Structures are given as C-alpha cells and as structure tokens.
Structure 1
C-alpha cells in the first residue's frame, strides 16, 4: 500500500527503533488482508513479497496461544472505533519467542469495510531484561520472581561450579543433582537418565560448561528444547541459561515444561510444510487453490481469483470441497462435460489417482456468456499427510485452443497430402501408362520404322515428364529440410538469358501461345546470383502461364531493374503476365501451399505435382526476394517477382560464369577403352549400347571389388576412363574410388560417377572420394558425351 511505503532513511530509523507500521483490512466476502512496511516485515522475519492474505495468516497464527484472548479483544476494540494497546508474545521463525507492543485504531474514512491501522514495537530486550532483573535481584527472591511456571531453577557459581536449587517440581524433582557438588557434572549425569535418546547429544553439548559459557559471551541467554519420555509419551521441555546482572561469575539455569508451546510450534511447522507442498505443487497462475481433507472434504483456502467469483457467485465463501464441485457443476460446467466431470472428481477416484501418480488432472469446459472456456483442476498429493490433497483450478483456454488450432492445421496438411497422393497416383500413372503403351506399340510395329519411331518418341516424352514430377517432389523435400543452399556466381545477365528465352519460346509455340520477352532499364547487368535457381523460378512461373493459357492467348515476360534501398545491391523485377484461365480469390490464398492445385489434372487436363509454385516461393524467400500475384478468373494472371542481387564492383576483373549450352561438337571416341562398374544389368546394357555406338571398347564390373581386382590385373594405363556406380553390393563406388587412387598415386585415371543420387551433397561426396565428375541417372546421352569429351582426348 502506498501509505506504508517509506524512504530508505525512514525505514532505517524505524528498523533501528524496532518500530513498524501495519494496516489490516476486514472486508465482507473477502479473507482478511494485512499490509506492513519494511520495518515491521523485518521484525517478523518475513520477506517483502509476502502477499497480504498470507501476511495476515502468518501474523495471527504465530501469536503465542496465551495471548489469543487478549488479541481478539484488541481487534474488537479497534473495530468499534476505540484505540487499543496490546503487548504480546510472537513466535519468530528463527529468534523464537519475541515480544511486541502494538498501538492502533480504526480508520473511519475507509468505506468498503473495516480498516485498522497502527504500529508495533519490538520490546523483546526490555521484557527479557526486566525478567532477569526480577529473577536475579537476590537469591531469596528468585523462586518468587520466576513463578510457578518453571519446574526447576538453579543459581550457579561458575567460578567453583557450586549451585543453589529452587522450586524443584514436576518431572525434574526426581533429578538427583543435589548430591553432586559440581553442577555441570551432576546435571549432565541426571539428565542423561531421562532425556529422549534422539535429543541427548544436543542436550549434552548444551550443558557442557565451556560451550555454555562461550555461548553466553555473545548472548545474554541461550536455550534448547528437548524431550522427556514421560508415561509413554514424549513431553517437550526447555533448558535455558542466562547471565546475571549482579555478577560475572553467576548464571541462572531453568527447566520448564513447554509441551503445549512446542506442540503448537510442531503444528505450525507441519502447516508450513503443507504450505510448501501447496507452493511446490501449484504455480501462481492458479485462480483458486484449496487444501482438502478428503476424510471430511473440509478446505483450507489459499487463493481465490476474483474472476472466478464472477463465474460462480459465492465461490469464495464455500468451505467444503464437495459443495464447491457441486456448485460448479450446477452453474457453469458445460452440460456435455458434467457427467464425466462428476465421475473424474469422485473422492475415491481422486485419492486413487494421486496415490498412484502423485498428480492428477481433470479437464472440463466452463460456459460463460455463450463462450466455452477450457479449465483444469490439478490435484497434488500431500506426501506428509494421508488423504490430504491440494486442488488448484486454472484456465488452460489459451493453450488448449492453440493445440486445437495446431491439430486442425495438421489435419488440413494431412488432407492436402492425401489429395497430393491421389493426384500423384493419377499423374504418375498417366506417363507410366503412356510409356508402357507406346513401348508395346513400338514392339508390335517394329517392322514399320516410322510408326515405331513415333511410338518411341512419345514414350520418351512421357518418361521425361515423369522424371520432372519426381524431381519436383525431391526438390521440395530438400528445400524443406534445409539442404539447399544458393550457389552465387558472377554472371552477365544479358549473356546468360538466351537459353531460357529460346526454350520458353519453343514451349509456347507448341501450344500456339504468343510469347514475348522484354528486358529494359537494366543498368547493372553484372551481378552475383545462383543463375540456375533464378532460371528455375522463371521457368516454373512461365511454364505454368503457358500451361494454363489457351491456344491463341499470350504470355509476357518483362524484366527490369528498379530502385533499390540496399547499398551495393540492385533490385531486379520480373513480371510474368498471361491471358489464361486465371484463379479464384479463394485459391489465391493457398497458391503457394505444398501439393495445392485449384483443379486436379483429371479436370483441368494439366498435369503436375502442385509443388512448382511452392518451390518457387521457397527459392524467392532464400534469395530474400518477394513474389506477388494478381489474378481474375477468365482474364489471366500477373506474377511480380522482385529479387535483390549484389552488383559486381569490377566486372572486367572477374571471369563471368556462363550457363549456356555449347554447340554440339562432333568428336570421335573410336578406340578408347572404358570400364563400366554397374550392378544393374539393364543400366549396364544402356551404358554399353551408348558407349559402343560411339566406337568405345567397353568392359564391365559387377561391383567395386571386381573393378579394383580388374585394375590390379590390367594396370593403370589399360583404361582411359571409368564410369562408376555408387550404390553397389560388396563394395560401393566411393570405397572403390579411394582404393584405386591409393593404388595408382602417380596415375590419375578419370573416374566419373553414374548415380541415382543427384543432389549437390551427392556430387560433393563424389569429389571428396576422388572422382572427377558426377552424372545423375537416368543417363542423358548428351551429358554423358560432354563428360567424355573432357577426358577422352588423344
């Protein structure tokens, strides 16, 4: 509270004076709350973050039992508007009993209930000093001063260990100390016979003369609580020693029965342990926390959320857990959840679950103003007490609805993948069917060369389409797994664009679609770019535009350089616009989703995986670019792609990489000898036919180990080149290559990988193993010829 906050200086003054300020609020319908300044909290030994409800409970429950009646009267006086003063004993957690003097009254300006305000002073030292003065004024007055509360009192002269015994009564009247002239020896021997064995070592240390006097050098009085075993039960006693003001060589030792006090302290300790169980079992986000005795279903309240009071009026006034759950079910629990809720919160069910699992959760829905709110009760077993459970109510609405949204998203993704598999099943079977069908037709028409060639040509087209479908799926998988990285190279955009233009022009002409390619305002044509990936973006979008543009339509590609806000970078804009069938607004929202197509190939007659634009979007994102789409059904679509590219500072000093196909150069391979290492007979037959058709002498090996033995036999100069498969039984291509390199360190035989593994990391593995090239299956004859040209030279 603002009224209790003070400056550090004021806090220091109040603390040094033992004076603290407090306010108590007693409002109808709410648990009592107590606010205190730093000085009072420090006096009580409590942390500054203690909650008001907890502070009131801690303060009131630790008032010594003998002062409870006076405490209640003081509260009553102040509530009636009278000023009250009370001096009482309070059980401090570390200091033991301390004495406080409080002054206070009622604040009549507070209208929401009753507010009591006042201050308290720590008077422990004054009270104890007065007690010692009264106790030790003279020998004859000791018994009268200390009263009948002590079972025994000893006035000890530490110079010669002599003593005088007063007021022996109770259990200690049987202690045979008088017969011994040395108090410390006699007292130790007498106590050893009756003290509970678990407490004896601590008591023995306490009555040791040297240790006791050392303790009294720092404190005016020292004490220890221990247990006597009396009539079959353990009874707490306190042994206390104090210095006397009349002499430096005298002390007073007292024994008193403190069983009621220590038992109460043990109960408070058990309560503190219970509180710790609550704290450890439940976090602060719980709106309602109660401690339930399942023998009676009675409760101890710990926290109530005012919001819950709005849901269930009277919620905070309930003190029986059964009634609490009944009210909850009858008012706000969702009708569909009531039967399950009642079954899940049956006392026998709860006790069984927390006994087996320690924690038990019950989830349910509340209905509030027509809205479903997801809630949970967390039950936690109190390990220190049988059939006692902490129950915490809290909202799990946000996380539940988030999980439901994620589940819905996952279901949508599964539906998309199911649709993809359905479409792929059709799209893959279509070219497969064409390949098988045209191959059969070619076989049947083998004598009709023209007919057979036509069938084989169509079969080849279908196989290329099938390969593109598979490549799309694999490419998307690699991009999602983060295995694709951009390979930036210095290029001249003008010189590297011709191939793609001619290819796209040819694609459009086959459909009778007008294709126009325009490049303008490109000031910086020398840049660093992964040109193959950029071409993939343009090809994907333009081929889609051609695919969905009817005969007689048009496709425009407009490339320009627009202003860039990044230093040393140019911003390049690619506009692809068509007069095709267009897309609906609903589909545009899912255009870049994986496996998405507005129409299946069965309906649209257009084949594909639904991954092309998803791949395009991922590549543009990797390039830190953007892609926007405008479309209208029946009118066409416009894609606007913007990609930032780093500009070459000195292009004339950098060798520009070209990605264009070179003209076919006719070279004779007649007489060269090549070893083909391949375990698949069909693949070997294809490779052998291609090579022998070019005049090459071909030997074969079924796996890497056979190839190694062949080279050991023939020597390093026998073969001009080796075509090496990767995945083979016995010994793979990587291992075979490494062995061959170690066998002939002075002679590097060209080794080219022929592998179904076609990704960049596969090529890197081939290079690391010592290979000179990497060709992906299925074999493209033109690529194989280009590779052989590099190594087969006379």
Structure 2
C-alpha cells in the first residue's frame, strides 16, 4: 500500500505547531505504529492521530520549508495520487523532493514570485495561486494551491499547502470563458447588425421620403406586407400592419382608386407574371397612372424593385408616390416641343416662301441688268437709248442691292449684335431727310409726303440717329409702296411729356391712306419673310423683311410699335420711344455745295487695296472735282499722313479689309500720331462689311463714320459734311 512522504522531523514540527509540551527529540520511529511500551506517550499518540488525519484527507496536502531549497517535509497519499506516483520514491524522483521540482517549469517564475510576496509581506491569511504540474505519466495538470505560512520554534518557517487538481475545473472555465467570448462577440455583432439595420432603415426612410406608400410582397407566397401606408393604401390593410393577400390587394386597390381609363393597364402591369418578366431583365421598373380622390384626378407612379437576390423573382418592394408636378411639367414640355415643332414648320414654310419670293425678286433685276446690258452694247452710238438702258441697269442694281441689304440687316437686327450709339441729332432734320429720300419715288405715283414736327418742344435730342432714320425709312418706304396714285403720307414726330433728367417721351407716326392691312395679316405682320400678297400677285417688289427689321430696331431702342389699319382706308404705324433731350444743341447746316467747295481746296486720301474698286471710287471722286491721293494698304496710308502738311488732307476714306495693315489698325495708328492736327484728321470707313458690329468696331478704332459699299454719292457727301462740321465744332478751323 502506498505511503505518504514523511520527514522524520515531522513529529517535532507537529508538536511544536500545536503547542504540545515535550521533547522534540523523543522517539519518532514509526510515527504511524503504536509505541512498544505499555504506556505510550500521549504526545506521540496525538502526533500519530494528526498524521493519520492528514493521510486520509481527500485532497492533496503538502508541507515544505519556506526557504530557497523548498525541501518537502510531507506529501499525503492524495497528492501522490494526483501526480500518478505509486510510491514516495516515485514522487521524490519526479519532484526532486522540492517544491520547485513539483511545479511545471513554465510556471516556476510566477509561482516563486507569489511565494516571495507572501514571505515579504508576512501575511497571516491564506494565499491562493494556480499553476501547472507534470505528472509521472507526462500529463500536464492544473493545480489550485491554497497555502499558509507557518512559523515554528523547531522547524522555522513552513508552508502548509492544500492542493486540488483543477484541470477539469480549469477546462470548464476555459470553455465557459470561450463561450462567454462567443456570447460577447455575438452581442457585439448583434449590436452592429442592429445599428446597421437602423442605419439602413434611416437610409430607406431618407431615400423613400417622396414615397407615400411602401410595401413588401412575396409573389410565391402571395402575401403583401406594409411598411408605410398612405390614406389610399391604409384602407386595404384596415389600419394595421398585418399582411394581406397580394392578388386580393391589387384587385381591391385598382377597383377602388385607379382611374377607369388606367385600370386595365395597371392590372396587367402588376400581375405576378408581368412583374417577373420585367424584373428578369432589369432590377426595377415603374408605371404611371391616374387616380381619383375627392373628384380630382391625381397622377401617381408605382415603382417595383426586385429584392429577391436570386434569378427567381419572388420578393419585391413596391413604392407609390405623387408625380403631379412631374407629369404636368412633362405635359408642358411636350406642349412646348409640339409648339416649337409647329413654329419650326411655320418657319420652314415661311423661309421656303421667302426663298421662292427672293428667287423671283433677285432674278427680276438680274434679268433686267443682263438684258439692258446687252441692249446697251447694241446701241453704243444711240445716246438716248444708251442713257435709258444705263438708267434701267442702275435702277435694277439698286433694287438688287436693296434685297441683299435687307437680308443682311434682318440677320444683325435679330441677333445680340445690335447696339445703340447715342449722338447729338435734330428730329426736324431727321424727318426731312427721310421724307426727301422718298420724294422722287412718291412723285412717280403722284403721292405727297409731309413731315410734321409741330408737336415737338425739344427738337434737339441725343439718340442713335442712324436707327431713327432706318425705322422711319422702312415705314415710309412701305407707305409709298402700298399707297395708290394720288395718295398722301404724313411723317409726324410728337413730344408727349417731359421726364426727369432731361428725358422725354416721343412718338413717331407714319400714316398713309393706302390699301390697308387685313386683320388676319396683322397678327403676323412682324414675322420675318411674311407678306400679305406675294410679289407676283401684288406687283409690289419686296422681301417681307422690312417690318421685322423695324420691330427689332425699335425693341433694341427700348421702344414699342403699334399699328392701326383699315382695308381701303390706310395704315398708321406709331413708335413710342424715351429719348434724351439736348441741353446745348448744336446745329450743323453745311450744304452740299459748301462741302464740295471746302474739299476742292484740299486733297482726299483714298485707301483701297482692290484695283477695280480703287479705279471706280477714284473716278467718282475726281468726277466731282476732288483731288485724290491713293494708298493700297493701311501702312502706306499712315506713312503718307505722317509726311503730310497739317492741312494737306481734308479727310481719309478708309477701306477695312486690306493686307499688311487693315483699316482699323491704320485708324488707330493715325489717332496715335504725335502731331494733333494730323492725328484728328476725319476718317470715314468705306467697306462691304455692313453689319452693326462692323460699324461699331470702326467707331471704336477711331473713325468718324462707317459707310457701306457701293458708294452712295449723296449719302457720302452728307456724311462728309456732318463729319467736317463736327470737327470744326470740336477743334475749330484749325
């Protein structure tokens, strides 16, 4: 039978520990057997009883010295069993009969540190540590160690240690801890899942803010579950969130809410078969339809989304939202597109009509030019016939040029290229200029033209004289064309009322007693290319652009135009403008004869790169008695001005598009000369560039005026006169 590990000094230690008096050196032979004497020492019996008690303890018990050697004094049978030792010799061999040998090497440091702390702190209470041991069979076991430090008189300091094999307990705790960690991870994951779920709900709520109803449906199970309900869908679920039959819900919803016109299409597009077919090719689709609420038609959109996550479409989400504004905008956009298409078609028709008229109107003067040219060549020696033919050629050329000018003018007046340039001008002179321009044409039809400025308080104004004359000219020209022989035309300017800051409201009226305008045509009178009767039928040559140009000019000047007409009685066009009045008016009254007389004493510098134009223009100017010097580009012209005497040249007639240096560059160079008398010489542009932007660029480059080619002699003389008078006013006779 196994015996415990017992040190022979154990009896003395026990007797000392329990305070039993006696000789520690007494016989300690076989501590577990009775003494041989008839009357055994009661101390020995007590010691043996204590040892037998320790032997029978169910848990391990160990006593060892609390010194560096840690020699084991006693180990009971239960401890030997824990270590799987069959004898005390096996235990001594396993442990080296020391506590250090008893503890697993990997746990030696922590165990030793705990023991050292107990000795240092001199604690009287028990200490508890756990560590591993290695059994005889090599198995590693976990030990629970409850120890107490005992100080004896004979044995010094001893550790009394109660030992329990806690391997199963530790494994259970490890499993419990692992399970707890799993539980903690599960709780953490559930928390994250819950947070993600809430976040997704917030995202869904945010994304679906415009949807009044959101429902989840399973087509396989034929159920539909509400997520959010509107007053329309609430009735189908009886104010609860309980699921209903999908097929029943669709049928009931369609019959209760959907407009009769849309019930068939909505029923078809919400059937499981249709939904599966649509969602098999795309993740979502929608349908728009009408509903009736409170006798009012509303527009709804139902969007259906596949949320199955597999190829077999089963689970869907349905969202309902109001789309009244979108549908109305779509309908309005459709209406605008249809209107734009209609207008485009009308514009195409009008343009085709215009091209048809233009083709005739352009061919007519061209045929005349070619025909009369051929006749002129055949009658070179018949002065009377030749002069007649040349006049016809000239008239046809003017007619053709007028057509081209109007086509160009409609382009710039209808764009953003039109600008208003205010200069000092006189309304009486403007009306007289316009009326005089059409006297010859009017006299051919025995028509009288009267200009009336009696209603003006301030005749001198600051405005765009060119544009005033233009719209009055177009209106007067129309009046002459459509007034029969013996008619009368009045051009009237009236000042209605004076405004603050030297401004006044003016009305310009052109009135005739001609054929009048029909009410039907009045509605489109300002549309481009429109004519009440085409050229062929009416016998009046025209393009249908004049009134469009007038309207564009008046609008650009910030004014309004009104027309009143009666068939067979006549027409009156009235233009209302807000114009600035002159505080110190300047009167320019140089006559054509004065202009010619002034120029004959000076030279004109003609700058032109085209040889044909140079030859024609030189001949015209010299034919009027002027002395002409020429330059073929802007650089030569600048050098000639530099070398000229201060009063050598009266003015410069400058072409624009030239090689080496163009006309505008040359004008800037001249204005930059150091000699002021040379730098401020009058410069008038002569160019085929006739757009408003071209004129503006010429003025900005330093020129005084801009005239289109071909040269109109009366207009040229008038422009020269005004330019020279302005220079005299600004700079004196010098």
Q: TM-score by structure 2 length?
A: 0.57
- 2:562 matched residue in structure 1: 628
Q: Deviations over 1:343-365 (max 9, x none)?
A: x986554674568xxxx776x67
Q: Could you tell me which of 544, 548, 552 is aligned with 1:610?
A: 544
Per-residue deviation at 1:687? 2.9
Q: Could you tell me which of 326, 329, 346 is aligned with 1:399?
A: 329
- 1:755 matched residue in structure 2: 687
For 2:521 and 2:673, locate their aligned partners in 1 and report how far apart those are by CA, in whole Å.
61
- 2:12 matched residue in structure 1: none
C-alpha change, 1:561 and 1:440, in structure 2 (3 Å) is same
Contact 1:499–1:660 (CA<8 Å) still a contact in 2? no
- 2:608 matched residue in structure 1: 677
Per-residue deviation at 1:486? 3.2
For 2:253 and 2:589, locate their aligned partners in 1 and report how far apart those are by CA, in whole Å.
75
Q: Deviations over 1:75-114 (max 9, x none)?
A: xxxxxxxxxxxxxxxxxxxxxxxxxxxxxxxxxxxxxxxx
For 2:479 and 2:203, locate their aligned partners in 1 and report how far apart those are by CA, in whole Å.
73
Q: Tell me, what secondary structure is at the counterpart of 2:686? A: strand
RMSD: 5.4
C-alpha change, 1:452 and 1:566, in structure 2 (3 Å) is same
Matched, 1:438 2:372: yes
Q: Could you tell me which of 186, 209, 227 is aligned with 1:236?
A: 186
C-alpha change, 1:324 and 1:620, in structure 2 (3 Å) is farther
C-alpha change, 1:636 and 1:681, in structure 2 (3 Å) is same
Contact 2:300–2:320 (CA<8 Å) still a contact in 1? no
- 1:423 matched residue in structure 2: 354
C-alpha change, 1:691 and 1:277, in structure 2 (3 Å) is same
Q: Could you tell me which of 257, 262, 270 is aligned with 1:333?
A: 262
C-alpha change, 1:655 and 1:447, in structure 2 (3 Å) is same
Question: Rg: which structure is higher?
Answer: 2
Q: Could you tell me which of 579, 584, 588 is aligned with 2:522?
A: 588
Number of corresponding residues: 528
Q: Could you tell me which of 766, 787, 793 is aligned with 2:698?
A: 766
Contact 1:423–1:601 (CA<8 Å) still a contact in 2? no
- 1:278 matched residue in structure 2: 208
Q: Deviations over 1:418-437 (max 9, x none)?
A: 41353243334433443343
Matched, 1:460 2:409: no
For 1:416 and 1:458, locate their aligned partners in 2 and report how far apart those are by CA, in whole Å.
35
Q: Tell me, what secondary structure is at the counterpart of 1:690? A: helix
C-alpha change, 1:299 and 1:637, in structure 2 (3 Å) is farther
Matched, 1:522 2:453: no
Q: TM-score by structure 1 length?
A: 0.53
For 2:457 and 2:250, locate their aligned partners in 1 and report how far apart those are by CA, in whole Å.
81
For 1:378 and 1:772, locate their aligned partners in 2 and report how far apart those are by CA, in whole Å.
70
Q: How does 1:207-222 map to 2 (within 5 A)?
A: none
- Which runs of 5 or more structure 2 residues have no equivalent in the other structure? 1-141, 146-172, 236-242, 311-315, 728-732
Q: How does 1:567-586 map to 2 (within 5 A)?
A: 569-586=503-520
Q: How does 1:293-312 map to 2 (within 5 A)?
A: 300=226, 302=228, 304=230
Matched, 1:716 2:637: no
Per-residue deviation at 1:509? 2.2
Contact 2:497–2:505 (CA<8 Å) still a contact in 1? yes
Contact 1:380–1:391 (CA<8 Å) still a contact in 2? no
Per-residue deviation at 1:550? 2.0
Per-residue deviation at 1:278? 1.8
C-alpha change, 1:629 and 1:594, in structure 2 (3 Å) is same
Contact 2:592–2:717 (CA<8 Å) still a contact in 1? no
Contact 1:722–1:750 (CA<8 Å) still a contact in 2? yes
Matched, 1:502 2:436: yes
Matched, 1:779 2:711: yes
C-alpha change, 1:663 and 1:770, in structure 2 (3 Å) is same
Per-residue deviation at 1:713? 11
Q: Deviations over 1:202-221 (max 9, x none)?
A: xxxxxxxxxxxxxxxxxxxx
For 1:351 and 1:488, locate their aligned partners in 2 and report how far apart those are by CA, in whole Å.
71
Matched, 1:542 2:469: no
Per-residue deviation at 1:565? 7.6
Per-residue deviation at 1:548? 1.6
Q: Tell me, what secondary structure is at the counterpart of 2:576? A: strand
Q: Deviations over 1:607-641 (max 9, x none)?
A: 33323223333444444444332223233323344
For 2:698 and 2:401, locate their aligned partners in 1 and report how far apart those are by CA, in whole Å.
23
For 2:521 and 2:426, locate their aligned partners in 1 and report how far apart those are by CA, in whole Å.
37
- Which runs of 5 or more structure 1 residues have no equivalent in the other structure? 1-175, 180-188, 196-226, 239-257, 310-315
C-alpha change, 1:270 and 1:628, in structure 2 (3 Å) is same
Contact 1:594–1:610 (CA<8 Å) still a contact in 2? yes
C-alpha change, 1:711 and 1:498, in structure 2 (3 Å) is closer
C-alpha change, 1:578 and 1:191, in structure 2 (3 Å) is farther
For 2:491 and 2:406, locate their aligned partners in 1 and report how far apart those are by CA, in whole Å.
23
- 1:6 matched residue in structure 2: none
Contact 1:334–1:366 (CA<8 Å) still a contact in 2? no
Q: Tell me, what secondary structure is at the counterpart of 1:237? A: helix
For 1:563 and 1:788, locate their aligned partners in 2 and report how far apart those are by CA, in whole Å.
35
